[in-house]
Amino acid sequence: MEQVHQYRKLYEVLRKHITTGVYKEGSLLPSENELCATYSMTRPTVRHALDSLVKEGMILKQQGKGSIVRKAPQNIGILSFSGTASAIGVRYLQTDILQKPEIRTWPEVFPFELSKLERESGCIYMERLRFVDEIPVFYDVNHLPNIYLTRITSRSFENKSLFEILRKHYQIEILGGEQKLKAIKPDEKIRQMLWLQPDLPVLHIERKLTTNKAGFNIYSTIYFNSEKHAIFGSF
């Protein structure tokens, strides 16, 4: 029995209202007491929900004033895009699936330590190439453990966020994670993939995302062309 918690419900509602523009960027959310009254909750519960939004960077809180709606990053609290010239709307972001999700065995050498459950169940592998303004900037290789994800290999991923699909269809939520960043000289394959000039370095990211499903982590290796764009993160 999956009980839906109250603070979780409020969190979802507010999140949706922020992303759909009911509460506009820069404006104030209803006060905690108002939210209490509206949703019939007590303040600790409301605050718990707001804390989650703060953690994700959806809102900023200021004592004595209120909760300010922030520009919502596409991926919660992780790393989102920002152009050097101007902010990039999600509209200009396009995704190509180079390798549809398929079941494989885990690689021999892997940058993160795997649990027994993960190693035993095998992994789902997929590759994506992402474009900003028709130019490839983002090449990522993803490994997910082959649990919970029934029929994922037959799903269409075109222009859909992986996280969105995991959340909607499998109730998997990203709780947090860790990542290692480096500047490296790309090999020939990466260079061609990202249309890189010779000698241009790339940003290399290895990350592990933990989820609400115990033992289910998402592992990604990312190559990022940082010539015209930068990786942007807020915390």
Partner DNA sequence: TTTTTTAACTTGTATTTACAAGTTGAGTTG
Partner DNA sequence: CAACTCAACTTGTAAATACAAGTTAAAAAA
Spatial CB neighbours of 184, under 8 Å, sequence gap ≥ 6: 201, 202, 204
Residues 183-202 that bind its own copies (CB under 8 A): 183-185, 199-202
Nearest Cα to Cα of residue 219 among 227, 211, 230: 211
What is the spatial distance between Cα 164 and Cα 98, in angstroms, rounded to a whole number? 19
43 binds, among its own copies, DNA, none (CB under 5 to 8 A by kind): DNA
Q: Which segment (24-32, 98-106, 107-115, 147-155) binds DNA by CB under 7 A?
A: 24-32
Q: Are the CB atoms for 138 and 203 separated by under 8 Å?
A: no
Residue nearer to DNA on the CB measure, 45 or 142: 45
What is the spatial distance between Cα 211 and Cα 53, in angstroms, rounded to a whole number? 17
Q: Does 221 bind DNA (CB under 7 A)?
A: no
- Identity of the residue numbered 73: P
Q: Does 31 bind DNA (CB under 7 A)?
A: yes
Residue 87: CB atoms within 10 A of its CB come to 10
Shortest distance in whole angstroms from residue 104 CB to its own copies: 25
List 21, 44, 89, 107, residue binding DNA (CB under 7 A): 44
65 binds, among DNA, its own copies, none (CB under 5 to 8 A by kind): DNA
What is the spatial distance between Cα 206 and Cα 182, in angstroms, rounded to a whole number? 9
Binding footprint of DNA on the chain (CB under 7 A):
1, 3, 5-8, 29, 31-34, 40-45, 47-48, 50, 61-67, 214
